[in-house]
């Protein structure tokens, strides 16, 4: 095998769902139980399925319940299988790479999620605020034009 002579310059940083920087983090574990398995995507917002923080063991992508966190650690899962019924990790404090559905995000913008899917955006209208969450860094590339780092301080 030859030594590579070129460097990939397309993706400048990050994979959605990966923790961005070492620092204080808090993660909750719960069983994924979304209405549509297609919405079980790393780097999206999840809420407690029953809506009550004390009783919540099940989470869903999006939803109207209590905010559970951003699904993280994509390298820890077999992505060939359905994620419903598996245990996941949901970040509610720390910095994580995500894909925003809205372009033109600025550092310091508040982050919202689409209740039907859990997709993240900086657009307020019709969406739910992610508590104590802002865009920390915006590092788009040609492959991921809406890649950003968000900071949660719950």
Residue 52: what pLDDT? 56
pLDDT at residue number 104: 80
Site of tokens 């004390």: 54
Query: What's the pTM?
Result: 0.87
- Tell me, what's the pLDDT at 68? 94
d(CA 99, CA 103): 10
CA dihedral 47, 48, 53, 58 (to 10 degrees): -150
Residue 137, SS3?
A: strand
pLDDT given at position 154: 85
Q: Determine the pLDDT at residue 131.
A: 96
Digitized pLDDT (tens) for each residue of the chain, 154 residues in all: 566 677 666 556 788 999 998 899 999 999 999 999 999 999 999 999 875 555 568 999 999 989 999 999 998 888 788 999 999 999 999 999 999 998 888 899 999 999 999 999 999 999 999 999 999 988 666 667 788 999 999 8
């Amino acid at each position: 095998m030859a030594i590579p002579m070129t460097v990939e310059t397309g993706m400048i940083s990050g994979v959605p769902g990966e923790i961005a920087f070492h620092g204080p983090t808090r993660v909750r574990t719960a069983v994924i139980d979304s209405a549509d398995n297609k919405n079980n995507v790393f780097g999206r917002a999840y809420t407690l399925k029953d809506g009550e923080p004390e009783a919540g063991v099940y989470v869903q992508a999006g939803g109207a319940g209590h905010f559970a966190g951003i699904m993280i650690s994509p390298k820890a899962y077999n992505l060939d299988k359905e994620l419903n019924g598996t245990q996941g990790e949901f970040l509610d404090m720390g910095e994580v790479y995500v894909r925003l559905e809205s372009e033109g995000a600025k550092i310091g913008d508040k982050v919202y999620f689409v209740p039907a899917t859990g997709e993240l955006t900086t657009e307020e209208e019709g969406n739910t605020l992610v508590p104590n969450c802002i865009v920390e860094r915006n590092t788009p590339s040609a492959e991921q034009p809406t890649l950003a780092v968000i900071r949660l301080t719950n």
